[in-house]
């Protein structure tokens, strides 16, 4: 062996044993940075991408394997989202999971991911009955569903009214985006309306929701005690402004977690003060993880959107961040279960199904007290389902969580999940799995 061969051999050995593992974990990001929903899509996409970039820059990836992000622009258009899925599923070493941030896309992708064997992670959106892991083997919606959210909104209204029995005779209006997403809570609210005796008024708003005068005139006429909103994009901003204009009390107006970002309330100015929204994680950037993101991602010149630095910690940014965090932990779990550095999508699915991110683990990851601990099982793909309520302080321009995390009412949602997933299984000839 001459000197040249020795040098080459040493270099090769160093490359193989060193921290830089050549294999890359492929994560497609179905973003929407353009179009009418871009103001919501951008913060989420930035949070999602920044977390994986941080793992690459700070930790050398997950278990020493770097992550390769494969972005694809959907413009929140279901057709484009499906095209993105087809285009990216075989990219790199093969897509490990998808998070499309769209209920419409989720409905289209469920049969595709089931056939292709790729996990679909729809964090707090998508098809609620996918919570039933016996039927939806490839779909996960941890940490909660829209139906959980609907039960928590009703519980909050009941608490403020003096108890569940005080809901009898009350009026609750649901202002919703007239889409698969917006219609999700209706079934639960209808069941609760019958059980607790409140009157439910349904007020759909067509995409994009720029003009809602007729909706709010009806609210003015009917004077509901509470208004719940399942909105997205400009619909949220217009609704909050309209509510303020007709002097609807903001503390009786509760949006779902997709109707509670800074973008939604700022256009209404001071009049949005006291507006409520459901939440499953904290707002703000006062966490060690955010400091790491600034240091390694933004100051390190690795951010996808460098101009976003001052907005790190906004609600939808944190939403994308925690989506990426739970997904990254699922990948790590899958790698650990199968003792591999080159996991397949099926192995990552196993990771999702064994996902266990406790509050202690959250602290290790740099997010102490950011959200609750989550645990997924074979039968339960939605996790604990807990939801809190956050309130907007217009003066300080800050969201704050103002309640403890409520437990969802599984006695209400459980039978509905069973019923809807059984219907899906029957329609698609799926025999539900056995879960130990």
Partner 1 sequence: MMFLLEATISGLMAGVMYSLVALGFVLIFKASGVFNFAQGVMALFAGLTLVGLMEKFSLPPWAAIIATIAVMILLAWLIEFLVLRRLVNQAPIILFMATLGLAYVLEGLGDILWGSDVKLLDIGLPQGAVDWLLDDYNLYVERLEVAAAVTAVIMVVVLAVFFQKTRIGRALRAVADDHQAALSVGISLRTIWVIVWSVSGVVALVAGIMWGSKSGVQFSLSLIALKALPVLMLGGFTSIPGAIIGGLIIGVGEKWAEIYMGPIIGGAIENWFAYMLALAFLLVRPQGLFGEKIIERI
Binding site for partner 1 (CB under 8 A): 33-39, 42, 178, 202-206, 208, 210-211, 213-215, 217-218, 220-221, 233-234, 237-238, 241, 244-247, 263, 266-267, 269, 271, 307
Identify the H or E element spanning 245.
helix 234-245
With CA atoms as reference, report the closest residue to 215 among 192, 191, 233, 231.
231
Distance of alpha carbon 209 from alpha carbon 224, whole angstroms: 21
Q: How far is the CB of 267 from partner 1 (least distance, A)?
A: 4
Tell me how far the alpha carbon of residue 324 is from its chain's centroid.
10
User: Toward partner 1, which CB reaches closer, 176 or 370?
Assistant: 176
User: Toward partner 1, which CB reaches closer, 22 or 270?
Assistant: 270
Q: Report the Cα–Cα distance between both ends of the chain, in Å, rounded.
A: 58
User: Toward partner 1, which CB reaches closer, 140 or 275?
Assistant: 275
Q: How many CB atoms lie within 10 A of CB 153?
A: 29
User: Toward partner 1, which CB reaches closer, 171 or 341?
Assistant: 171
User: Toward partner 1, which CB reaches closer, 42 or 96?
Assistant: 42
Identify the H or E element spanning 356.
strand 356-357
Which conformational region is residue 336 in: left (phi greater than 0), alpha (psi within -120 to 50 degrees), or beta? alpha
Q: How many CB atoms lie within 10 A of CB 5?
A: 9
Place of tokens 């007290």: 369
DSSP 434: P
Q: How far is the CB of 427 from partner 1 (least distance, A)?
A: 24
> What Cα–Cα distance (Å) separates residue 367 from each residue in 72, 258, 435?
28, 21, 32
User: Toward partner 1, which CB reaches closer, 166 or 183?
Assistant: 183
User: Toward partner 1, which CB reaches closer, 271 or 361?
Assistant: 271
DSSP per position, 215-235? HHHHHHHH--SEEEEE--THH
User: Toward partner 1, which CB reaches closer, 39 or 224?
Assistant: 39
Q: How far is the CB of 70 from partner 1 (least distance, A)?
A: 21
Q: How far is the CB of 285 from partner 1 (least distance, A)?
A: 17
* Residue 91: strand, helix, or coil: coil
Q: How far is the CB of 303 from partner 1 (least distance, A)?
A: 15
What is the rounded radius of gyration, in angstroms, for the C-alpha atoms of the chain?
22
Q: How far is the CB of 54 from partner 1 (least distance, A)?
A: 23
Q: How far is the CB of 92 from partner 1 (least distance, A)?
A: 27
Place of tokens 């985006």: 177
Q: How far is the CB of 95 from partner 1 (least distance, A)?
A: 26
Query: Per the omega criterion (within 30 degrees of 0), is the bond before 143 cis?
Result: yes
Q: How far is the CB of 412 from partner 1 (least distance, A)?
A: 24
Distance of alpha carbon 46 from alpha carbon 364, whole angstroms: 22
User: Toward partner 1, which CB reaches closer, 211 or 342?
Assistant: 211
């Amino acid at each position: 062996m001459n000197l040249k061969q020795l040098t080459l051999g040493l270099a090769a050995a160093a490359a193989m044993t060193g921290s830089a593992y050549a294999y890359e974990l492929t994560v497609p990001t179905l973003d929407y940075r353009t179009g009418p929903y871009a103001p919501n899509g951008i913060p989420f996409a930035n949070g999602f991408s920044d977390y994986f970039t941080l793992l690459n820059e700070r930790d050398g990836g997950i278990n020493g394997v770097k992550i390769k992000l494969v972005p694809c622009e959907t413009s929140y258009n279901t057709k484009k989202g499906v095209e993105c899925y087809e285009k990216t599923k075989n990219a790199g070493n093969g897509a490990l999971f998808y998070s499309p941030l769209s209920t419409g896309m989720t409905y289209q992708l469920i049969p595709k991911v089931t056939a292709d064997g790729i996990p679909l992670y729809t964090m707090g959106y998508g098809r609620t009955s996918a919570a039933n892991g016996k039927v939806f083997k490839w779909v996960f919606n941890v940490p909660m569903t829209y139906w959980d959210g609907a039960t928590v909104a009703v519980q909050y209204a009941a608490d403020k009214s003096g108890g569940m029995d005080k809901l009898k005779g009350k009026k609750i209006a649901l202002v919703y985006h007239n889409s698969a997403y917006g219609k999700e809570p209706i079934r639960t609210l209808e069941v609760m309306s019958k059980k607790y005796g409140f009157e439910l008024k349904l007020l759909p708003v067509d995409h994009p929701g720029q003009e809602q005068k007729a909706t709010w005139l009806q609210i003015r006429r009917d004077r509901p005690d509470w208004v719940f909103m399942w909105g997205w994009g400009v619909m949220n901003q217009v609704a909050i402004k309209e509510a303020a204009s007709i002097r609807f009390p903001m503390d009786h107006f509760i949006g779902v977690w997709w109707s509670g970002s800074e973008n939604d309330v700022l256009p209404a100015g001071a009049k949005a003060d006291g507006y409520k929204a459901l939440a499953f994680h904290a707002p703000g950037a006062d966490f060690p993880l955010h400091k790491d993101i600034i240091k390694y991602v933004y100051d390190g010149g690795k951010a996808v959107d460098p101009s976003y630095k001052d907005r790190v910690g906004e609600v939808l940014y944190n939403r994308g961040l925690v989506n990426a965090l739970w997904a990254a932990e699922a990948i790590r779990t899958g790698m650990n279960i199968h003792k591999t550095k080159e996991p397949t999508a099926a192995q990552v699915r196993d990771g999702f199904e064994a996902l266990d991110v406790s509050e202690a683990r959250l602290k290790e990851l740099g997010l102490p007290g950011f959200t609750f601990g989550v645990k997924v099982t074979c039968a339960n793909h939605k996790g604990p389902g807990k939801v809190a309520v956050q309130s907007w302080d217009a003066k300080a321009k800050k969201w704050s969580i103002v309640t403890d995390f409520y437990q969802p009412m599984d006695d209400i949602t459980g039978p509905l999940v069973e019923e809807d997933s059984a219907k899906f299984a029957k329609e698609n000839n799926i025999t539900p799995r056995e879960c130990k």
